[in-house]
Chains A and B, each alone.
Chain A
């Protein structure tokens, strides 16, 4: 194999596929990136056997071939090269890298060892669904963080995507919080289709969006193989779909609540950040006390101290008290973009529901922490 490619393109491609390189691979080849020539382009693939990422890069191919190289080393090497054309020559599983005055040789592993990463290779798949990239990206950022990381409950590591006539709904939960976002739109097809996609794969996909208007993400799922290929221009993310029953989250969305309030997102974010300093040493517990037109955010750690921050609110209903895990609050507050937030509560044991003020398409529910005193 011999080819030359612009450093910028190569670095971009390597960074993209590196996200799928297995972190703790039992098989050395899974820590590698596949380099292969395909249709006059350079194809890069990586996989951790749950998710695989493939990119196709423009290159001047002189001699076809394929090889795998250690992802981390190759990635670091490529990003440190000057912004010029890079020449890659492969002979006997060794990759020679030449760029200007830089010379390097990377030891690779035969491409035969590398598992096949399924791709559409730019072709359209049957039953493919198209989504607006920017909208999907926003939805994923509002939802995916709520998914769990506990492999003992695999279904909770996914984002449920529900297609209906009204559009698409995404939901994620780790059992202690729930995030739901609706993307209304009659143009969205696939009504009745449901799937649970690993949250990590969706997050990786949205990181590769170019933030261009009209950018489209195409989803092609195969039920038999329980896989989903999500493709962008020149990039494909393939992931397995999660099996199992996603919990019926609609039934835990409170229908009514005893206390409703509205406040500035940033003000609450700052308050919780400050309270979290003390909450760190006491199980991350941050208390909310709602009285009249004020929300008092407090935290205390017997060994460290305590703090109290007041946040102005607009309230209807009863005064209330509730405690949350500060980590959940902070993750939610970092994700939300709305300037004002609504919060609905029904006592210290009932879940608290956050919404973007004036926007019903997103909701976030957090289970409170029980505290005494």
Chain B
């Protein structure tokens, strides 16, 4: 007979003998702590919840308990009493609303993180579009600084930040990063994020469902208004009207507004004057398309997000050959797919092959070849000295190779006319333009020149590692 069954037998027996009140008060709260054998006797230690119970049991019920236990065990029994409260199992789980989290079980950092993620999802921000994942270089540093300031002290320094720039330069990223930053600090901040198109659709929907009051409440209570692709509202009268009031409401409360557009306010077709003047009253910053270095940095950041290992050289090859940041991500995803499928490390060759497939043309390694190297390769090809190419002589044997250099530098390295001129010993940009155009024309006429250029090109790319 184990302790539990012994005790329940004793209890049941006592329950029959005692009045319900006495049983419930004195016996029910007891528990059997231990059962030991000693000197032919069983020693039962019983836990009493309080000293009152202990005194009462020892005075009145000890004999009865012993007698019942003896009957059950068929052995002489001795009862000992101890004061011990029964451990109560802690109930886990959340309390009803109005109750906070438990002070002692709460992990503030985790809660803050959760609240922030929840808020970001509620507002509709993409998790990845944060400042942390935003690479900064010359083409976007002003916009970045402005966004940082807006996020740090919303509505205090720049009440309106107007970001404009082409496709895929990071306008949306920057704007959402502002939202993320503010929500990370205060998950309850009234942040509203939407695109110009969503804004328009919501108004139409609200008008159709006669719920414009809800719509207004949602937008006008905002303290941080993030509107993406604001150019979309151009030419839409009611939408602009509604936006004008929303904008004013947010401004009046000292809120922060961030707008993005693919063009300047004065270039947005059909934008009302009162809106234009308001937009122009804010801080207008532009983002230029990212340069090679920034694209490389973006690739490395994105690779980290995808948890893939991207060697620097591969990143450079991709960055050199893909200009659009959107496409960068696509290429990266395919690279990661290839890597997984083929189970081999990412190499430049693999990247090149993929880029070839995507672009359907010979992949150039613009970044890997310097202008000086091109000059040298051309000089070597035509068995000239580089000084000849850079020099002043206008002999046909020198002038044509020089023009080939101009052509290659323009087409392959995409240098500007001025830069090419500088590389070639300070020539005028019109000279460079003339040279480039001449070669272009000759290429379709002269098979010799075409072969020359193809061979030089091949050398440029083959030698890229060595030169």
Using a CB–CB cutoff of 8 Å, the interface residues on chain A facing chain B are 25-28, 30, 47, 49-50, 52, 115-118, 151-154, 173, 175-178, 224-227, 238, 240, 242-244, 247-249, 252, 283-285, 321, 324-325, 347-351, 365-373
Contact = CB atoms under 8 A, between A and B. Distances in A.
A240 B83 contact: yes
Contact of B25 (A30, A324, A367): A30
Contacts of A373: 188, 190, 221
Given A325-B98, A347-B112, A118 B21 contact: no
For the complex of A and B, list the 10 residue pairs with the smallest distance between their C-beta atoms, beginning with the closest. Answer: A283-B98, A367-B100, A27-B21, A240-B50, A27-B25, A225-B51, A247-B104, A26-B24, A227-B51, A115-B56
Interface in B44-59: 49-56, 59
Contact of B99 (A225, A240, A350, A369): A369
B341 interface: no
A49 B24 CA distance: 13
B50 A50 contact: yes
Contacts of A252: 103-104
B362 interface: no
B87 A244 contact: yes
B90 interface: yes
A interface: dominant SS: loop
Contacts of A49: 25, 49-50, 52-53
Given A243-B85, A321-B186, A373-B188, A349 B102 contact: no
B103 A351 contact: yes
20 contacts: A26-B25, A47-B52, A49-B53, A52-B52, A116-B56, A152-B91, A154-B85, A173-B103, A173-B104, A175-B102, A225-B51, A238-B51, A240-B83, A285-B98, A321-B188, A325-B99, A349-B112, A349-B115, A367-B106, A370-B101
Contacts of B52: 47, 49, 52, 115-118, 240
Interface string B21-44: 110111000000000000000000
Contacts of B54: 225
Contacts of A370: 100-101, 115, 188
Given A226-B83, A284-B98, A370-B115, A118 B51 contact: yes
B83 A225 contact: yes
A283 B331 CA distance: 52
Query: How big is the B interface, by class?
Result: 35 or more
A159 to B, nearest CB: 16
B17 interface: no
A227 B49 CA distance: 11
B207 interface: no
Contacts of A153: 88, 90-91
A152 B95 CA distance: 14
B209 interface: no
B254 to A, nearest CB: 10
Interface in B161-186: 185-186
Given A152-B88, A225-B51, A367 B83 contact: no
Given A117-B52, A244-B85, A349-B187, 4 more contacts: A175-B103, A249-B104, A349-B115, A367-B102
A192 B109 CA distance: 34
B444 interface: no
A217 to B, nearest CB: 20
Contacts of B55: 115-116, 118
B5 interface: no
Interface in B394-425: none
Interface in B99-128: 99-106, 108, 111-112, 115
A224 B83 contact: yes
Contacts of A240: 49-52, 83, 85
A348 B25 CA distance: 47
Contacts of A117: 52
B84 to A, nearest CB: 7
A283 B97 CA distance: 6
Given A116-B59, A152-B91, A227-B50, A369 B187 contact: no
Tell which of A25, A117, A243, A366 has the most Cβ of chain B within 10 Å: A243
